[in-house]
A = this chain, B = another copy of it.
């Protein structure tokens, strides 16, 4: 089991010679890598960014590039899709918008103050507009598509957009290659967005397939971000729809199972229900227990610590029996304060 298999190394052991510990020892950890899907991953990334922001941070000096931020977020691209000829990366955008504090917190997705003039006109022009795209959001897709078509890889384009939006952590798509999450349902195999948005994730999920995954390579920096981290976090994202497609990229699972970093998974199931999305239904339809324990059973090879919500404290024993250390805390990240508090607790596990 994970707890026994792991080589434990002191925090900071992976630090390169000559690399100062103090300069960016923000929040006590220098290198944190978060594997993330959409909303849950974005909220935790936001908490980590807040927690890692030093109170006495100097203003960046122009011409003097800022040192690398301690947080790297490796993001799922299995939900990516092309609509109206534009390349949409929903999870990357949710992470970017949330870190840029431009996201619509109330609705849970998209940008604050969004308008829909283009989408309404697209409908008038005969386009199928089942997928809601706002005017502000479209700018991201237009820029991404133009830069991808001009030959830039998704990781470089993501990095440019992040910089334009003032996002400080490093955001990496897990791969620059094409990987499409396909959902097997009683009515056949559906593309992810068709299942998720088109059918509003109401179909029973019989299985998942990550089309093209075997031919993908990790984006530059992904494997190193896992190998060289002090702390690796699995976001409270859907294990099947967000974490699995990240691990389906050859080399990523090995980097996660082989890292010297402490690995902490935050359960997306609280009190027997998903915080958001179809995780509960999918756990059930694939024959797993719909609980933090059911999630822990999926992660025995992938994490050393399971972080579960206070409401699930009674599951600590059975989860510990699987070989995990267990952190019991408030995992519901309502606002920025809750996010930062959870992030600080998680970062505490890395030091």
Of the residues B115, B117, B119, B149, contact of A85 by C-beta under 8 Å: B149
Q: Does A156 contact B (CB under 8 A)?
A: no
Q: Does A145 contact B (CB under 8 A)?
A: yes
Residues in B neighbouring A22, C-beta threshold 8 A: none
Whether the Cβ atoms of A143 and B164 lie closer than 8 Å is no
Residues in B neighbouring A161, C-beta threshold 8 A: 125
Of the residues B86, B121, B149, contact of A135 by C-beta under 8 Å: B121
Known A-B contacts A84-B143, A143-B127; A138 and B118 likewise in contact (beta carbons under 8 Å): yes
Q: Does A140 contact B (CB under 8 A)?
A: yes
A39 nearest CB across to chain B (Å): 21
Whether the Cβ atoms of B142 and A85 lie closer than 8 Å is yes
Whether the Cβ atoms of B121 and A140 lie closer than 8 Å is yes
Q: Does A298 contact B (CB under 8 A)?
A: no
A278 nearest CB across to chain B (Å): 29
Q: Does A1 contact B (CB under 8 A)?
A: no
Of the residues B127, B139, B145, B149, contact of A122 by C-beta under 8 Å: B139
Known A-B contacts A115-B135, A135-B135, A138-B138; A84 and B121 likewise in contact (beta carbons under 8 Å): no
Q: Does A4 contact B (CB under 8 A)?
A: no
Whether the Cβ atoms of A140 and B125 lie closer than 8 Å is yes
A84 nearest CB across to chain B (Å): 5
With the chains together, A293 CA to B102 CA distance in Å?
A: 59
The residue of chain B having its C-beta at the shortest distance from the C-beta of A111 within the complex is B121
Q: Does A197 contact B (CB under 8 A)?
A: no
Residues in B neighbouring A138, C-beta threshold 8 A: 118, 121, 138, 142
Residues in B neighbouring A143, C-beta threshold 8 A: 84, 122, 125-127
Whether the Cβ atoms of B164 and A135 lie closer than 8 Å is no
Q: Does A146 contact B (CB under 8 A)?
A: yes
Residues in B neighbouring A140, C-beta threshold 8 A: 121, 125
A122 nearest CB across to chain B (Å): 5
Q: Does A124 contact B (CB under 8 A)?
A: yes
Whether the Cβ atoms of B146 and A125 lie closer than 8 Å is no
Q: Does A326 contact B (CB under 8 A)?
A: no
With the chains together, A136 CA to B116 CA distance in Å?
A: 9
Q: Does A160 contact B (CB under 8 A)?
A: yes
A143 nearest CB across to chain B (Å): 5
With the chains together, A140 CA to B122 CA distance in Å?
A: 7
Which residues 32-48 of A have a CB within 8 angstroms of B?
none
Whether the Cβ atoms of A145 and B115 lie closer than 8 Å is no
With the chains together, A122 CA to B137 CA distance in Å?
A: 10
Chain A, 147-183, contact with B by CB distance < 8 Å: what is the 0/1 string? 1011000000000110011000000000000000000
Residues in B neighbouring A146, C-beta threshold 8 A: 84-86
Residues in B neighbouring A125, C-beta threshold 8 A: 139-140, 143, 161, 164-165
A63 nearest CB across to chain B (Å): 18
> What 4 pairs between A and B have smallest CB-CB spacing?
A85-B146, A121-B139, A117-B135, A122-B139
Further 8 A-B residue pairs, CB within 8 A, beyond A84-B143, A84-B146: A84-B142, A85-B145, A115-B115, A122-B139, A124-B165, A125-B140, A126-B160, A138-B142
- Can you name 19 A-B pairs with beta carbons within 8 Å? A84-B143, A85-B147, A85-B149, A117-B134, A118-B135, A118-B136, A118-B139, A121-B135, A121-B136, A121-B139, A122-B139, A124-B139, A124-B164, A125-B161, A126-B143, A126-B160, A127-B143, A135-B135, A138-B138
